[in-house]
Amino acid sequence: MGTLDHVWELLSWTHTAVCHAAVRKPADVALLRDSSLELISSMQDRFSELEDTELPAIELLGQPFWPVVNGPLSDVLAHIGQIAMLRRVAGSPAPDSNPFEGTAG
């Protein structure tokens, strides 16, 4: 649960900066996973609404937009790869997906 918890914290932190809305952390592992996916969906919706000129207004701890993307979100992507690799090693690989469309298979 440690890695998933860390991923949720990073997503929550970034979500607060992008969407200006704090979220409560679920206690249950299944809910933590679902909440992580909801945070990603919410940020995707917000980014699709933003104009390029609005990006500089997004700040995280006083830092401009690009460190928000290059820091916490890059860390999240690294941990997602870690989870996928550990699932493969444990004999329970994640189902195939299309990362470009965010869909299964």
What pTM does this model have?
Answer: 0.79
**pLDDT tens-digit series, residues 3-28:** 889 999 999 988 988 888 889 999 88
**pLDDT tens-digit series, residues 59-76:** 887 888 787 778 888 899
Q: What is the pLDDT of residue 97?
A: 78
SS3 of the chain: helix, strand, coil, percent, to 5: 65, 5, 30
DSSP 70: I
pLDDT confidence tier of residue 1, bands split at 50, 70 and 90: low
pLDDT at 105 over 70: no
For range 93-101, the mean pLDDT: 78
